[in-house]
Every structure is written in C-alpha cells, then in structure tokens.
Amino acid sequence: MSKLDELVIGTLPHVPRAMMWRLAKRYVAGETLESAIDKLRELGERGHPGIIDVLGEDVTGEAHARRVVDEYLHAADAVVAARLDAYVSVKPTHVGLRTSEKLAHELYSVLARHCKQRGLFLRVEMEDHTTTDATLRVFELLRREFDNVGVVLQARLLRTPGDIAKLAPGPLHVRMVKGIYLEPAAIAHTQPVPIRDAYVECTRLLLARNAFVSFATHDGDMADKLIELTRQHGLARTQYEFQVLLGVQEGLWERWSKAGHTVRVYVPFGPEWLPYSLRRLRKNPEMLRHLMRATLGLGKQ
C-alpha cells in the first residue's frame, strides 16, 4: 500500500456519511429491499438480468446469521413476486462461516431449498484465502443435494487451477473473478498481467469441464480473449454470460449487449453499505482507485 493510499484510507472513517454516500450510491442500490427491486426492474427494462446481494460479512453468532438468512428469504420472494430475471448471491461469512462451517452449510441449504422451490439460482460467493477451503467444502456438500447452486473462483489465487481439478464431476456453474482481496505473494498473483493470464487459463480449464462460466470483469481486452475461448469451444451465447458491478464501466455493458452477449448486473443493497465499503477499501485500496477511474470514465476495471 502506498503512502497516498494509507493517507486516503486513514481519512475515510472521518468522512461524513452523506459524502460517503455520494461515492457509494452509484454502486449500491440503496438501503432497502424495495430500492434493490426497483433497480433490478430498471436494469431488466434495459435488457440486463440481475444478481441481488444483501450487504454484510463477517457475522459472528448464530442468531445474527439466521436473521441474515431471513433477509435473503424475503429478497428471493420479492424477486419472484416482481417477476425479475435475477438470482441470489451470498457471502459465506454473512451466513456464519466464521462461527461454524456446519452452520453455514445448514443456512445455505435453507436458502438453496427456498430458491429451488421458486425457480431461482443461488451463488456461494468467495472471500479471502482464509475461507477458501471451508467455502469449497460447503459448496461441494450443497452440490450433492441441489442443482441450483454455483460458486465463485478467484484467478488471483495460485491454488485455483488445482481447486478446479478437485471439484467433483457433474454440472458446474462458476463466477470467475480476478479477486479483490490483497493476498500474500506466496499464495497469489500480485500484478495485473499475471492475474489476467491466470483468469484466462482458469476459464480454459472450466470450459474444458463444460462448466457454465460467468465472466465477472470490466476488462475489455481480457473479455475479447474470453469471447475467443467461447468460440473455440463452440459455445452458444446462452452457455456463458458477462457479469458486471452496478455503476461501473457501463459503456462495456452496451458494447457486449449489442454484440449479443448476456450482461448480468450485480446489485448490492442494505444498511451495511458504509461499513462494507470501509472494510473493502481497507482490504484493497485499489478499489478506491477503480471507483475513481470508473467515475471519471478512465482505464480498465
């Protein structure tokens, strides 16, 4: 982290909430479920399916984790009631992984069953490397019982090609990301070019397994390489999709959409937007630079 990053991050807790919201509101639907549904509806009218995420992570205590699950159950019901093309995405530590792996599996199972009954998909997200093994164990258990669940894999981590090889046979639905967490160089790529190369290689491995891959990226040059991979594998455009963050690099969305690719938008919401933003920025100050560049319409994300 540079001295400038340290200075900026150090001042963030003292920035007035209203001013922080001016930064965050482009990337967060709002504090309420209603605001998220409105945003998903607006995006749907523009031709973009969505992902709904209740902001929060690192929950401690079973009671809190169960309250989070109730929020997600309501969110799933709201998506169905509004007849939206969207699915549910949940962080493992938001449903108690730090408290108990068994608890996280139980609560994900509740969500997976609820979503399956309503024709919805459920994504198991991925957090920093301290949770990777437990998250993959929970995901593999869920796959044995439910066919409406997917996972996230991070190109940044050196272990990811091995993790792909170890995943059990069968249908596989993966959101491929570069990875936002700054990890030690001993276990992760730390520079942009190796991370991009690893992303393309991991995608190649996944497509060789006939996985449905969601390309979560705002890197247009890398996306061109991914599109070429799909052509090499003879994939129809219904057999993969792009995923983007709300408010980031919308010009790319339109470019991909006009070319006939599905572009699904990640829509986070909830009262935890401020602590969530502060935690993310502390873990990875590069995100702040991403947001600033996106706001100014500069550079790759």
Instruction: Give the model confidence (pLDDT) of 151-197 as tens digits.
Output: 999 999 999 999 999 999 999 999 999 998 889 999 999 999 999 99
Q: Do 97 and 65 meet the contact criterion of CB atoms below 8 Å apart?
A: no
Of 113, 150, 111, 118, whose CA–CA distance to 241 is shortest? 150
Percent of the chain at pLDDT exceeding 90: 78
pLDDT tens column, 137-159: 999 999 999 999 999 999 999 99
State how far the Cα of 58 lies from the Cα of 150, in Å rounded to an integer. 21
- Identity at 256, one-letter amino acid code: W
DSSP the chain: --HHHHHHHHHGGGS-HHHHHHHHTTT---SSHHHHHHHHHHHHHTT--EEEEE------SHHHHHHHHHHHHHHHHHHHHTT-SEEEEE-GGGGTTTT-HHHHHHHHHHHHHHHHHTT--EEE---SGGGHHHHHHHHHHHHHH-SSEEEEEETTBTTHHHHHHHSPSS--EEEEE---S---TTTB--SHHHHHHHHHHHHHHHHHTT-EEEEE---HHHHHHHHHHHHHTT--TTSEEEEEETTS-HHHHHHHHHTT--EEEEEEESTTHHHHHHHHHHH-THHHHHHHHHHHT-S--
pLDDT above 70 covers a percentage of the chain that reads 86
Mean per-residue pLDDT, 32-55: 97
- pLDDT the model gives residue 273: 83
CB contact at 8 A, 40 and 87: no
Angstrom distance (rounded) from CA 156 to CA 176: 10
- Taking 70 as the threshold, does the pLDDT of residue 294 lie above it? no
Is 155:174 a contact under the CB 8 Å cutoff? Answer: no
Of residues 247 and 284, which shows the higher confidence score?
Answer: 247
This prediction has a pTM of 0.89
Handedness of CA 82, 88, 90, 95 (dihedral sign): positive
Joined together, the tokens standing for residue 131 give 């949770």
Q: Are 123 and 51 in contact (CB under 8 A)?
A: yes
